[in-house]
Amino acid sequence: MDTSRQYAITLDHQDPLQRFRKEFYVTKDKIYLDGNSLGLLSKRSEQAVLSILGAWKNDAIDGWTMGKHPWFYLSEKVGEAFAPLVGAKPDELIATGSTTTNLHQLLASFYKPEGKKTKILADELNFPSDIYAIKSQLQLKGFSPDEHLVKVKSRDGHTLTTEDIIASMTDDIALIILPGVLYRSGQILDMRTLTVAACERGIPIGFDLCHSIGSIPNYLSEWNVDFAFWCTYKHLNGGPGSVAGIYVNEKHLGSEPGLSGWFSSKKDKQFDLEHQLTPAPTAGAYQIGTPHVLSLAPLIGSLEIFQEAGIQAIRQKSLALTDYLIALMEMELSEFGFKIASPMEHLSRGGHVYVTHPNAASICKALKDAGIIPDFRSPNGIRLAPVALYNTFEEVWQTVEVLKQIMRDQKYKKYENTRGVIA
């Protein structure tokens, strides 16, 4: 492969998505490779927030039902915009809550221990917040997490095998919660095969799509997944604390959720103010409280961009960027002890590359001081996420060049090899 800067520039000239870069606030003299933690602000998101603020300013209470984006229906409207990204029907989607509160809602709704089926199956590589929520729900129902939380083991510390997950779907499993894409290694799980296996065993299955939505295509309805949940501030560029999402398969709709609230109501019944809930016949029933309108607003703009770009084109460029990054690292950095822990196969690799190094924390600090924003993951991992909508091939080339200089000159040694408060 050509390792010259000019080759990277040529790839950028051939990029059909290059026009979207100007939609984002890209900081001059910095290369941002942390979009899998917090995506950049787009100009359309900024305008959407200003529009919602304007409605509050000018319409006050009437903003709930008037204007371009009536707040009373905004969660449903944004939820519908998730449809092409997760492969679901509009009624199966709602924008609401946060990742962990939504998981609590789904656990309360779908975890129904009965007889010997009392355990929840997860994995040992999952993000801690999911595990905390599962343990909480087990304890609320009187079960010991030590005995009733089953975690699939990893063979290499970075990935999971489909065979091991299916083998763990034993007769005592009442519910399965798995990541669609593992947050460290970026491995894509075979959600379709796992859902078929769970269905054959009569076990409801749900997926955490935090590192999946906006980076890879999903087909939840086609796969017959029972439920899914995700945040929107990573690849979807919804901003810090932006409202999360829920998918519930249509076969489960029409009943009362595990955790009910005012906004669980059917819309035309909500203001009857009855003490008997009439649940929405859609995934809207899984809302609990009043929507966070100002945190929904950025998604109006960001999801417009995804609609125009198309998730298939985004995925194609994402793979090209990560392929290029991996190839350059193997050719230019082989002598410095980096190990690529992400899967090589396209079907198994998400939107970021995960590399390990004994000095990962100090290397990340050196990169940041050099104007390149990576992501450290304890104990020894570096996540690099070239995002299709706003990163370039030339930025990938520059990153590897800077990293090579840091390692050759041992610049990382002047930094402590410990994480910061947020890492």
Known binding residue 290? Answer is yes
> What is the rounded distance in angstroms from the CA atom of residue 392 to the CA atom of residue 387?
8
Q: Is residue 414 within 8 Å of residue 25, measured between CB atoms?
A: no
The pLDDT value recorded for residue 422 is 73
Segments of the chain with pLDDT less than 50: none
Q: What is the residue-wise DSSP string for 80-97?
A: HHTHHHHT--GGGEEE-S
227-230 and 245-248 beta bridge pairing: antiparallel
Vertex 119, ends 86 and 166: CA angle to 5°?
Answer: 55
The pLDDT value recorded for residue 1 is 87
The pLDDT value recorded for residue 358 is 98
205-208 and 227-230 beta bridge pairing: parallel
Known binding residue 356? Answer is no
Known binding residue 69? Answer is no
Q: Is residue 13 within 8 Å of residue 19, measured between CB atoms?
A: no
In three-state secondary structure terms, 228 is strand
**Residue position matching structure tokens 């509009």:** 90
Condensed to tens digits (0 to 9), the pLDDT of residues 355-389 reads: 999 999 999 999 999 999 999 999 999 999 999 99
> What is the rounded distance in angstroms from the CA atom of residue 232 to the CA atom of residue 364?
25
> What is the rounded distance in angstroms from the CA atom of residue 303 to the CA atom of residue 43?
12
Beta bridge partners of 117: 114
> What is the rounded distance in angstroms from the CA atom of residue 34 to the CA atom of residue 38?
6
pTM for this predicted structure: 0.97
Count Cβ neighbours within 10 Å for each residue of 355-373 and write b for 16 or more, e otherwise: bbbebbbbbbbbbbebebb
Known binding residue 170? Answer is no
> What is the rounded distance in angstroms from the CA atom of residue 244 to the CA atom of residue 96?
5
Known binding residue 130? Answer is yes
Angle, nearest 10°, between helix axes 311-332 and 393-408?
Answer: 30
- What is the distance, to the nearest Å, from the Cα of residue 183 to the centroid of all Cα atoms in its chain? 8
Known binding residue 190? Answer is no
Q: Which amino acid appears at position 262 of this protein?
A: W
Q: Which domains does the chain have, with CATH numbers?
A: 5-32+310-406 (3.90.1150.10), 47-308 (3.40.640.10)
| DSSP for residue 281 | S
Instruction: List C-alpha distances in Å: 11 to 219, 391, 395.
Output: 30, 12, 11
Known binding residue 111? Answer is no
Residue 78 has a CB neighbour count (10 Å cut-off) of 27
> What is the rounded distance in angstroms from the CA atom of residue 245 to the CA atom of residue 237?
14
Known binding residue 397? Answer is no
- Burial classification of residue 27, based on how many CB atoms lie within 10 Å of its CB (0-12 exposed, 13-18 middle, 19 or more buried): exposed
Known binding residue 101? Answer is no
Known binding residue 282? Answer is no
> What is the rounded distance in angstroms from the CA atom of residue 363 to the CA atom of residue 361?
5
Known binding residue 84? Answer is no
Q: Is residue 33 within 8 Å of residue 373, measured between CB atoms?
A: yes
> What is the rounded distance in angstroms from the CA atom of residue 289 to the CA atom of residue 297?
17
Which residues lie closer than 8 Å to 148 by C-beta, 6 or more apart?
Answer: 118, 119, 120, 138
> What is the rounded distance in angstroms from the CA atom of residue 181 to the CA atom of residue 116?
30
Residue 13 has a CB neighbour count (10 Å cut-off) of 8
Token pair belonging to 207: 């997926």
